[in-house]
Amino acid sequence: MRERTASLTEGALLAALTVLVALLVALFGSPGLVAAPLPLFVLTYRRGVRTAALSAVVAGLVLSPFFGFPQGLLFVAAFAPVGVVQGVVARRGGERVAVRAVLAGAVVGLGVTVLSLVITRYLLGLDPLQAVVEAQVKGAQAAADLSRRLGAPPQQVQQMEQLAQQMPNLVRTILPAAVILGVLVWAYGAYALARHVMRRLGTELPGFAPILTWRLPPAGTAALVLPVLAGVAVQPWAPEVGRVLAANGFMASVLVFAFFGVLTMLHYLQSRDVPRAGRALAVVAVLLLGDLGTFAMVALGLVDLWVDLRKVGPRAERSL
């Protein structure tokens, strides 16, 4: 009886915390979204799925006066499954808990995101994608106007204006890759935050290897290459489908290989005892170089795919 009372009390407290976090998500957007699954992760790990699901429903009902019904429940349902499934994986334990928790959270988060887009578009009559497109177009136009006022070369301003005109088609084309990578980063951030909080509560959860030792596994490489090959293969029969597949595969490949290229560069600088300020300046220099810097990091990431460059340096560590 005492255990049940404690479970209900903890569930009520974390349901209230879920409401608070949901309001922070509504106010601050993406930064708050990383913390959104946290209360339900903690509750699932400590008390089980049933108590966590009940708390999520209570939180959705409490939010209904703010967002309306059933929008309050749908709002909580957008992030609750990620916290629950990661809590279940962490509670069961086993090998590679951190990797499995992030991948499970990413798969569930992707499903919830797609379902939320469908419900928002076809049941609520809203078009969230159009809002994203308009925000990107306004940002590109503002950047072009700022460059013009700062006296940038006319050719550069014209290119930025053309980019703003092409932005709607570009955003809609690469949306799948952006959603998948975004959900993966979200799941990683949610688990990392939950692990930090659980440590504060006296429970040590498995973590990842140091980030500078990460390397792209063969399965990840295949996941990047297959959409491009599939796009090229179906191009003669379904040009639009082939274009979308190839564009998303290419965009994801550029971002992923550039990320691992930056990790390789930072690992090498660290092995040469370059101070943190110097490493930060190196990253800033890559960003300032624009397309040239991106191309260099992609090339470095591709080389590291075939040759483990983490072994370079006097204090090189063994990478994963």
User: Token pair for residue 219?
Assistant: 């399965």
DSSP structure string for 89-149: HHHH--TTHHHHHHHHHHHHHHHHHHHHHHHHHHTS---HHHHHHHHHHHHHHHHHHHHHH
Type of residue found at 56: A
Give the pLDDT score at 191.
93
Give the pLDDT score at 59.
72
Give the pLDDT score at 11.
46
CA 95 to chain centre: 23
> Hunting for tokens 């309306």 — which residue is that?
68
Type of residue found at 93: G
Give the pLDDT score at 15.
47
Mean pLDDT in consecutive groups of 10 residues from the start of the chain, 320 residues: 48 49 54 77 84 75 67 72 90 87 92 80 68 70 74 73 73 80 89 90 87 83 85 84 86 90 90 88 86 88 82 52
Type of residue found at 42: V
Residues written for the chain: 320
Give the pLDDT score at 126.
67
Type of residue found at 285: A
Give the pLDDT score at 35.
77
Give the pLDDT score at 12.
47
The pTM assigned to this predicted structure is: 0.79
Say how far apart CA 294 and CA 257 lie, in whole Å. 9
Give the pLDDT score at 293.
86
Full set of structural domains in the chain with CATH: 1-208 (1.10.1760), 209-320 (no CATH)
Type of residue found at 89: V
Give the pLDDT score at 89.
92
